[in-house]
Each structure stands twice: as structure tokens, then as C-alpha cells.
Amino acid sequence: MTDPVRVRIAVDAMGAEAAPRVEVEGALAALSSPEIDVVLVGDHERVRRVLDELGSGVPAERMQVRHAAEVVGMDEAPTSAFRQKKASSMRVCFELAQRGEVDAVVSAGNSGAMMAGALLVLGRIAGVERPAIVTTFPTQTGQCALLDMGANVDVRPTVLAQFSVLGAGYARLLHRKARPRVGLLSNGAEEHKGTALTREAHQLLTRAGTSGRPAGFAYLGYVEGRDIFRGQVDVVVTDGFTGNVVLKSCEGLVEWLSHAIREEVEQGSVLEKLGALLMRPALRRFRRRSDHAETGGAPLVGVDGVVLICHGSSDARAIKNGVLAAGELVRAQLRQETARAVAEHAYLWREDAPADGAGGAA
């Protein structure tokens, strides 16, 4: 284990589309946080070249480079690529974490391979069937954590119950919500809505906090797509198929909106064009609020370690924010807090816990 007041983070230098430049630049920028040290993992020569160009004067103990001869490609089949490429930058990162030489792993590489690697090398927290990827959405009053964003496509009801605990833990530590409000994503708020999967998960989750048992979150029941943005719920739980489709639909909509507004302004009057020009600073501030580079990637929760997955198209700012977010999760003890929360809430999905609390502790 590293020095308890310092945090050391392995950054996969070969993950992003613009690797290794954005990783080196982002990692250097993250060193502005005085408690963070970085280990850059990747092709030694290519990383060194960028580092020599950008990083003169960085003390060696704060920024190491570890060679890795292979790279897991974006289009490779995740599990087999991770297994076969023993010398991949991604795998070396996880092995550093597994040996306790770093406290967290950050990569903008193949997210399926990240999931596979975390499972194979770090393993799951006891009691967790499947880890999940969390994404943060902006809301009218702050932030909402949505999980799973694509790691698990076909899940069981017990997995959704576990996601509630994982998501609530994350919102508590990173979004500073003392008792997060958790909702289950559905096609309507009424109990008869949803799929067979969500109805069973709902049954499990309604047991949260009953019979005096601990619940680190408030379960709201079903929520709808629009509730993600309204600020009335802190954590929205769904399977990885639905979560991924929601995330990408929202990205597509934002893309279309900017396109359509630009088109209207271009076809508009001189005054409209002037108006657009004057409004630019407001639009820039707005974009910053909704930009995912600002939030610094998506954590993988439920694995026995701190793992952050950045977007393949990350720039240096996104990598920097990813490293800083990973540092925050290490300091907040995400791993230990998650293990504690999962153990405490096991009554939600364990067969041997009484369904109605009749035999409970109360």
C-alpha cells in the first residue's frame, strides 16, 4: 500500500483515440493536486517522447513510466483480448493495483476489456454479482448517478438490487448526498408498469429499511426517463442495455440540437446572427455544465478496487478530471465503503432473509 495520505494512480497511456498524448498531458495536469502521484503505463518510447516535450521539471517520484509492449484495441473482443495480451498497458495497470503499488486505475480504452480486466485481476467485492458502470447526468438541481451504463446487458433482479446499493454508495461519497434517493427506471410510475425484471427488483427494493433494518438510501420506487433530469432522484438504477441506450440517445439528441440551432441561426436574419454572437458566453458556460469531459469518466463500482473508465474520445482535460475523480474516490474509501454497504444491505437480495421482515431484527 502506498503512503496513506498520498494517492498513486495508474494511467493507461494507450487507451484514448489520441493516445498517448492526451494521457500524458492529462496526467501532468492532474499533478497540480499535491497529493496525487501518477504511473503512466504504455509504450515507453512513445510516452517518453511526449513527456520530454511537455513535462520538463516533474519530480520522478510523482510521475513514473512503466513499459507495456501491447495495447488492447477498441474493436477487440473484450475478454479474449484482455486474457491473451499479457503485456497490454491495461493489464499492467490492473496488476499494479492488485499488488497494491497503485490505488486506482484510469483508462480511456476498450470499456468491455476494462470490465473483464477488473473482474479477472481485482475481482468483485464480496456479495456483488456484477459490477456496474456509473455515469453522472446534470439535473435541474445538481447531479444524478445512472447505472449500469453498459457493462451488464442481461441481468437478474438481485443484480438491480445490488446496483441500488452500489449507486447509493457512490452518490454518498462523490456527490455528497447524505441519504441518496434511489429510483428504478421504468416505463411508468405505477407498480403494474415495468418488465418482469423490474417488477421483481421492485419487490426486493421495497424491503429497504423495513423492520428496522439499515438502509443507506431512500427507495422511491419506479421513476421515468424524464425524472433523470428533474433533480428529484439522486440515483437511477437500470440494466446495462437500457442505460447504454439512454446515454447514447441523450448524446445524439444534444448533437442534433446544436446542429439544428446552428442551422436556424445561419438561415436567420442579421439580428439573429448578432444575437447568437452575443449569447456565446452563456452557451459556453452551459456546455461546460453538460460536458462529460468535465465529470472525468465513469467509475466501475462493485469491483475490489477503484477503476475509472474515460471516453475513447477523451482529451487531456477529461483524463485530468478522471485522475482527480479517481483520487477523490480513493480518499473517500469507495472500496471499503462499498464493501461495508453491500454487507449491510445483503438482506435485500439474500434468499435467507425474511421477505416481509416478520423474522427480522426489529
Summarize as ranges the residues that interact with its own copies (CB under 8 A): 75, 77, 138-140, 150, 153-154, 185-188, 190, 192-196, 198, 224-230, 238, 240-242, 244-257, 259-261, 264-265, 268-269, 271-272, 274-283, 285-286, 289-290
Cα gap 36→204, rounded to integer Å: 40
Residue given cell 513527456 in the structure block = 51
- Taking phi over 0 as left and psi of -120 to 50 as alpha, with beta for the rest, 297 belongs to left
In angstroms, give the least distance from the CB of 252 to its own copies.
3
Closest CB to its own copies among 186 and 338?
A: 186
- Taking phi over 0 as left and psi of -120 to 50 as alpha, with beta for the rest, 94 belongs to alpha
Closest CB to its own copies among 26 and 138?
A: 138
In angstroms, give the least distance from the CB of 247 to its own copies.
7
In angstroms, give the least distance from the CB of 139 to its own copies.
7
Closest CB to its own copies among 306 and 310?
A: 310
In angstroms, give the least distance from the CB of 165 to its own copies.
22
Closest CB to its own copies among 39 and 145?
A: 145
In angstroms, give the least distance from the CB of 198 to its own copies.
8
Cα gap 222→18, rounded to integer Å: 40
Strands (E) in the chain, as ranges, are 7-12, 36-42, 63-67, 104-107, 132-138, 143-147, 181-185, 218-223, 235-237, 298-301, 306-309
What is the Cβ-side half-sphere exposure of residue 283, based on CA atoms within 13 angstroms?
11
Closest CB to its own copies among 153 and 355?
A: 153
In angstroms, give the least distance from the CB of 183 to its own copies.
12
Cα gap 199→204, rounded to integer Å: 9
In angstroms, give the least distance from the CB of 77 to its own copies.
7
Strands of 36-42's sheet, edge to edge?
Answer: 63-67, 36-42, 7-12, 104-107, 306-309, 298-301, 132-138, 143-147, 235-237, 181-185, 218-223
Closest CB to its own copies among 195 and 203?
A: 195
Burial status of residue 75 (CB atoms within 10 A of its CB: 0-12, 13-18, 19 or more): exposed
Query: What are the grid coordinates assigned to 61, written together?
Result: 517520484
In angstroms, give the least distance from the CB of 158 to its own copies.
18
Closest CB to its own copies among 242 and 314?
A: 242
Closest CB to its own copies among 78 and 357?
A: 78
Cα gap 101→95, rounded to integer Å: 9
